[in-house]
């Protein structure tokens, strides 16, 4: 947990709308599938009625629709990609990131623009590497199949990207931190989901647990509190609740 707390009552109250009816985002982005925004908006309205102070979307691909959702939202929606880009700029100045994500996320160019805005150099997997990465995300993690048989290919992918100049890896799909925690590698990794959670804690004015400098498998987090772009709360005066909409989790 990201919150500095001595008991469960000191954590943030969280409301979750796990809406499995939201259409596949990658299908919509790449192939003109059903627009997910109407159903995402329904989930957003449910969360707003709970009375929280901000919304987070635990999905990288869903941020393609962030501008449309922000137009409809009555409360702030934190931007996972912008938060991650600032983390990379602070944590690894002058270093090159490899973006590991769904094809839908990469096709939008959203991460590239966010990283370029912070002066972060990056590279993408080639076609063969991306095809295998999609297999890992969809056919293994989403399908709840064992990951150990994929270990050699996972470490091989990371090494190939390392040989191309990657200094660290952005786990830009919610399935990939599971892989990084299960199949050890020196990384290092930046986990956008974790950075988003820390930003939400900071936004809501709760004290952050100091992150370790390095985590198993090379996963690292920022040294300082995340920069939640719409934050204005005092850290020592917790006031806010936040919403996690699991219907935005990276099913696509």
Domain assignment present for residue 198? The answer is: no
Domain assignment present for residue 67? The answer is: no
Query: For the segment 155-176, what is each residue's pLDDT rounded down to a tens digit?
Result: 999 999 999 999 999 999 999 9
Indicate the average pLDDT of the chain: 84
Domain assignment present for residue 15? The answer is: no
Domain assignment present for residue 118? The answer is: yes
Could you say which of 54, 87, 88, 173 is catalytic? Answer: 173
Query: For the segment 11-48, what is each residue's pLDDT rounded down to a tens digit?
Result: 888 889 888 889 988 889 989 999 999 999 998 999 89
Query: For the segment 44-74, what is each residue's pLDDT rounded down to a tens digit?
Result: 999 899 987 899 998 999 999 999 999 999 9
CATH number assigned to the domain comprising residue 167:
3.40.50.1860
Query: For the segment 176-211, what is each residue's pLDDT rounded down to a tens digit?
Result: 999 999 998 889 999 999 999 999 998 988 888 876
pTM of the model: 0.82
- Domain range for 129: 81-192
Domain assignment present for residue 167? The answer is: yes
Q: Cα Rg for the chain, rounded, in angstroms?
A: 18
Closest CA to 198 of 90, 112, 103, 47: 90
Q: Please write down the long-range contacts of 113-121, taking CB distance under 8 Å and 24 or more positions apart.
A: 114/81, 114/82, 114/84, 114/85, 115/85, 115/88, 117/82, 117/85, 118/85, 118/86, 118/88, 118/89, 119/89, 120/85, 120/88, 120/89, 120/92, 121/94, 121/95, 121/96, 121/97
Closest CA to 23 of 140, 104, 141: 104
Domain assignment present for residue 18? The answer is: no
Domain assignment present for residue 136? The answer is: yes
Closest CA to 179 of 166, 197, 165, 193: 193
Euclidean distance between the first and the last CA atom of the chain, given in angstroms as a whole number: 26
pLDDT at site 194: 92
Could you say which of 54, 59, 87, 249 is catalytic? Answer: 59
Query: For the segment 72-104, what is each residue's pLDDT rounded down to a tens digit?
Result: 999 999 999 999 999 999 999 999 999 999 999
pLDDT at site 13: 87
Q: How far is CA 153 from CA 85, 164, 176, in A?
A: 27, 16, 14
Domain assignment present for residue 178? The answer is: yes
How many domains are there within the chain?
1
Q: Kindly indicate the confidence band of residue 212, based on its pLDDT and cuts at 50, 70 and 90.
A: very low
Q: Is 59 a catalytic residue?
A: yes
pLDDT at site 233: 41
Would the CA dihedral through 25, 30, 34, 36 be positive or negative? positive
């Amino acid at each position: 947990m990201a919150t500095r707390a001595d008991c469960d009552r000191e954590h943030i109250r969280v409301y979750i709308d796990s809406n499995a009816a939201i259409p596949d985002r990658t299908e919509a982005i790449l192939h003109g599938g059903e627009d997910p925004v109407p159903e995402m908006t329904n989930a957003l309205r449910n969360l707003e009625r709970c009375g929280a102070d901000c919304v987070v979307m635990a999905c990288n691909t869903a941020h393609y629709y962030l501008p449309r959702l922000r137009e409809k939202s009555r409360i702030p929606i934190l931007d996972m990609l912008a938060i991650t880009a600032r983390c990379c700029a602070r944590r690894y100045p002058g270093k090159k990131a490899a973006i590991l994500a769904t094809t839908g996320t990469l096709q939008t160019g959203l991460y590239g623009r966010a990283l370029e805005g912070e002066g972060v150099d990056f590279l993408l997997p080639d076609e063969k590497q991306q095809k295998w990465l999609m297999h890992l995300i969809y056919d293994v993690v989403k399908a709840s199949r064992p990951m150990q048989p994929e270990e050699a290919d996972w470490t091989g992918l990371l090494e190939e990207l390392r040989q191309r100049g990657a200094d660290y890896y952005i786990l830009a799909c919610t399935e990939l931190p599971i892989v990084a925690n299960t199949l050890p590698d020196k990384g290092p990794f930046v986990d956008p989901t974790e950075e988003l959670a820390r930003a939400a804690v900071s936004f809501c004015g709760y004290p952050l647990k100091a992150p370790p400098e390095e985590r198993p498998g090379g996963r690292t987090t920022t040294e300082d509190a995340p920069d939640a772009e719409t934050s204005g709360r005092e850290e020592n005066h917790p006031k806010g609740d936040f919403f996690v909409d699991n219907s935005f989790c990276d099913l696509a």
